[in-house]
Chain A
């Protein structure tokens, strides 16, 4: 690229030049600016959740809990969970990268409902404020799962305002999902058929289905918790005539699909990264696309694996166990297809690709351990131990956050029009990978040894593994701080990026960096499928027909 040409690119009109005052941001209807608003908000939340995580790890350095009191510790892990799940992971990729790139990748000038998009951000902020209000006033100690009757009768934390915060934030997710579904159906550019869609769009679409169908259930469930806590309606507490296990069914009916809300968009990002840095069409495009839909659908049928040890019927447990294993098949299909994409590719090891490869490795471990704990006889031993903690952090942090970071590094030049330092970013990717494994692998061992989750103090024989885990968390923390520093630097000082710094395919790389307000100077017409790198693949659709 020529530096002069790139600088000229930065100076030409783009969405960042479309007004500079705070009003131009807070009242914007541009999906790209709303994505930036979300990016800033979820980064604040990620920072908060990360600080809580660090305090938890520091506390667990010693078996007898010498850093904080038990009541404080319980609030720390609760707020860590609530913030990370509902205010970071759920909105992370959809509301930032999805918001920014779904319209561009399908050749649209915005989402279908720009005002609703802005509304969803305000709702998210309101939910966040309610939750932070509860935090500042003393926090909540129920765990992010709000299990009854502890949450409804016995907890003395700010359960209702936290639940209300999550309840409110849920609507922002419903609105985002609704917007994406309508946009993908109605706003595709001429020639952008369903099977020419980038796989990121497929995964966002599948995610949106879950958001729209699942989130109302958690909303109702949290209202029921508030109703029992405030009005003493007997719903969950047996003393009032309720059923405590009913809550778990309702909660996990949303919260297990929510795992897929969190990880499916990450899978979509990985498909983009692998294709871009292998310069090759994703192997088995249709299998990868439909596996997202399969995960979204099957994901609704597995919630009972969170209840294997509650005393639910053994027959129900059996059904949930086998369904949980079925949902692993589409995940396995994705992993194998990504790996096969590398075969005969033109592979580069730029920073986003490092994150993508890290994702595949960590998600594989997360997925395989997930199948282990879906096995009934084994789950009895491992349920509610650190094994579970390690498993879902491999999926949520090793999966979703690796993908989020990879996607951010991949699309950052497009979003800001600027580059970031290459070797420093590779170093941070490496630190995150090493730090992550050192943090969470010892927790698998702790879990098998029997260390229960949510323990403020623990038997001394578990200390060595806890110390290792805390050491890893420190490395992981530095790994996350580095990008925060160089991205901030890049925003003002980074060298200008040209339209397509990676030499990647996709409509987003055909427009300028940063894109103009309406994304394209001239509305695009699509004549080829996604990832048409090889000359033979420029004619799209036909090969698929033969393959099928």
Chain B
């Protein structure tokens, strides 16, 4: 009973928890040894060499070079061994396995918002399938938060203005604490939630009949791509004036920049290019893109980036296919599917970018008035075709993660 009242170790519920605990246990043993050694010596000496007369003095020091070397080198050796082990695990934590499925998390004062690849959205609670490797991409809307799951032995700061990632593979069914571990203001301690690890079949049922069925992140992003008129510059076919670089196969590629150098097109780069297009100009292109800072929410960014990431390799030249046309493959398998609903209105599209062109970079978003009508509400057909989206996303992730692994 006392053991129940006095918890000593947290539950282990992730693939790395056991290793972290083992490393900690070894450190604990080493620490106990040295603490006991020092304390034992002190007590022994205090008894053995207790002062016996008021004017007694200690015996002169004996030369102890070998002692100095021993007690410098032995701790150093132990520490370097533990350093190596800790660093190896840390590198593993920063390299998501190739088969990781991507989830998104956004922190704000004082709540968590999560988005599943299937499009389900949750607040403060996150459901994940057992045994599935999950990569969380995290950002904050305001101050720095921290995504901490003690049962997974995981923690990652969640910063505004950038993306950080963390991955885990839950290996025990249950519900575990999710804490915000970075002090974030008045209700910091209320920024708590939970992670529920479910049997994959239960999870599938939960997703399908779920509390919050929605369009997938990729599909939502595809709609935003239209709403914000991204396609007017970044998607083009024959006869179009190409004013922005194409986005197919962008993610995970090195992008050459004006003025030399290149940058890896990861989530943070794509995000920056949307919010602060002037920060990095792609070589060979004019700095004409307006900023979307303040016009697009963190959730919308997440969806938009998910969509851009889903655009596969650039398709072989296939003149005559209009952007966004069904089956065109402009944006790869998933992107094409997601763009499908826009097909009926697509023919009106080419006019928009051309007329908007003279507006130039100063115009706050060359957004033709007709755009809202381009993005119809998701129809039954849409959601039907979206059933395949999660798989496709994970494939994309796998490719890019493999590249990322190669980089690091």
Contact = CB atoms under 8 A, between A and B. Distances in A.
B56 A346 contact: yes
A534 B60 contact: yes
Contacts of B46: 342, 347, 349, 357
Contacts of A325: 76, 79-80, 82-83
A452 B148 CA distance: 9
B148 A70 contact: no
Given A333-B72, A365-B35, A378-B27, A534 B58 contact: yes
A321 interface: yes
A278 B148 CA distance: 48
Given A335-B38, A347-B49, A464-B6, A281 B24 contact: no
B159 A448 contact: no
Interface residue tally on B, bucketed by range? 35 or more
Contact of A343 (B5, B38, B45): B45
Interface string B1-20: 00001111110000010011
Contacts of B94: 314
A7 to B, nearest CB: 21
B185 A141 contact: yes
Contacts of A65: 189
Given A74-B186, A147-B182, A360-B42, A329 B72 contact: yes
A287 interface: yes
Contacts of B23: 375, 377-378
Interface string B58-94: 1111011101100110011001101101111111011
A93 interface: no
B182 A375 contact: no
Given A309-B155, A360-B38, A381-B20, A452 B181 contact: yes
Nearest to B279: A241
A22 interface: no
A326 B181 CA distance: 28
Contact of B10 (A150, A450, A534, A536): A450
Contacts of B113: none
Contacts of B365: none
A250 interface: no
Interface in A305-324: 308-311, 314, 317-318, 321-322
Nearest to B27: A372
A368 interface: yes
B159 A375 contact: no
A72 to B, nearest CB: 10
Contacts of A2: none
Contacts of A380: 20, 90, 93, 153-155
Nearest to A353: B46
B195 interface: no
B177 A537 contact: no
Nearest to B109: A154
A190 interface: no
Given A329-B76, A361-B38, A377 B86 contact: yes
A333 B70 CA distance: 10
A185 interface: no
Contact of A368 (B8, B34, B64): B34
A329 B159 contact: no
Given A70-B186, A385-B181, A455-B188, A503 B68 contact: no
A537 B143 CA distance: 61
A66 interface: no
A369 B161 contact: no
Contacts of B80: 322, 325
B254 interface: no
Contacts of A345: 45, 49, 58-59
Contacts of A375: 23, 27, 82-83, 85-86
Nearest to A330: B72
A93 to B, nearest CB: 22
Contacts of B9: 448-449
Contacts of B192: 459
B201 interface: no
- Chain A binding surface SS class: helix
A69 to B, nearest CB: 9
B142 interface: yes
A346 B155 contact: no
A489 B8 CA distance: 44
Contact of A154 (B49, B143, B155): B143
B10 A449 contact: yes
A71 B63 CA distance: 59
Interface string A438-463: 00000001001110111111110100
Nearest to B165: A311
Given A154-B143, A280-B58, A450 B150 contact: yes
A308 B42 CA distance: 36
Interface string A33-51: 0000000000000000000
Contacts of A547: 63, 65
A389 interface: no
A361 to B, nearest CB: 6
Contacts of B6: 464-465
A187 B52 CA distance: 39
B59 A371 contact: no
B237 interface: no
Given A238-B162, A283-B64, A449-B9, A244 B144 contact: yes
A314 B408 contact: yes
A322 to B, nearest CB: 5
B344 to A, nearest CB: 39
A239 B79 CA distance: 41
B144 A314 contact: no
Contacts of B61: 280-281, 283, 341, 537, 543
Contact of B58 (A70, A453, A461, A533): A533
Interface in A337-374: 337, 339-349, 357, 360-361, 364-365, 368-369, 371-372, 374
A375 B88 CA distance: 10
A448 B151 CA distance: 10
B147 to A, nearest CB: 10
B164 interface: yes
Nearest to A454: B183
A150 B183 contact: yes
A507 B30 CA distance: 41
Contacts of A70: 186-190
Q: Sorted from nearest, which 4 A-B pairs have the closest CB atoms? A: A238-B161, A450-B150, A280-B58, A377-B89
Given A150-B185, A308-B90, A375-B82, 13 more contacts: A70-B188, A311-B156, A321-B83, A322-B80, A342-B45, A346-B57, A357-B42, A371-B27, A378-B24, A383-B155, A385-B181, A450-B10, A454-B189
Interface of A: 65, 70-71, 74, 141, 143, 147, 149-150, 153-155, 237-239, 241, 243-245, 278-281, 283-284, 287, 308-311, 314, 317-318, 321-322, 325-326, 328-329, 332-333, 335-337, 339-349, 357, 360-361, 364-365, 368-369, 371-372, 374-381, 383-385, 445, 448-450, 452-459, 461, 464-465, 503, 533-534, 536-537, 543, 546-547
15 contacts: A70-B190, A141-B185, A278-B58, A337-B68, A339-B38, A345-B45, A345-B49, A365-B35, A374-B83, A375-B86, A377-B23, A379-B86, A381-B150, A456-B189, A457-B189
